[in-house]
């Protein structure tokens, strides 16, 4: 028996900011929960492959202070990697230096709250 990733959970200080960024970055739809706990669920678009993971954003009281121990790697579905990196930066991402070299097959970025992620070349 094996497992598969079904959801990626993000602890966030500003849930609305993070929901807006990640929904635009991934092309997901925002589903706000009315449970009073300030959570948000991002759902894949209808054209996504069956079993595409959802994103759950939940409130965290403390800001991020250290490098992530795990992070997502994103694949560009349409277009060039450099153009996609520019698009993500225009949405609020920033470049991150975690010791990578220019020859590495990925670009390291941070989301608006500083969580690292990679865009694969």
pLDDT digits (tens, 9 = 90+) for 45-65: 999 999 999 999 999 878 788
Residue 104 has pLDDT above 90, yes or no: yes
User: For the chain, which domains are there?
Assistant: 1-63 (3.10.180.10), 64-121 (3.10.180.10)
Expressed in angstroms, the distance from the first to the final Cα of the chain is 32
Q: Are 8 and 56 in contact (CB under 8 A)?
A: yes
The secondary element (H helix, E strand) that includes residue 119 is: strand 116-120
Q: pTM of the full predicted structure?
A: 0.90
| Neighbour count for residue 111 (Cβ, 10 Å) | 24
Q: Are 54 and 7 in contact (CB under 8 A)?
A: yes
């Amino acid at each position: 028996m094996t497992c598969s990733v079904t959801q990626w959970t993000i602890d966030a200080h500003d849930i609305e900011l993070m929901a807006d960024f990640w929904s635009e970055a991934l092309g997901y739809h925002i589903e706000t929960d009315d449970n009073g706990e300030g959570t948000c669920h991002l759902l894949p678009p209808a054209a996504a492959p069956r079993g595409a993971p959802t994103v759950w954003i939940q409130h965290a009281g403390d800001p991020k202070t250290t490098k992530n121990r795990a992070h997502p790697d994103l694949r560009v579905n349409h277009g060039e990697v450099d153009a996609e990196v520019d698009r993500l930066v225009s949405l609020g991402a920033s470049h991150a230096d975690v010791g990578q070299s220019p020859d590495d097959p990925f670009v390291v970025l941070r989301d608006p709250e500083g969580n690292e992620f990679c865009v694969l070349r």
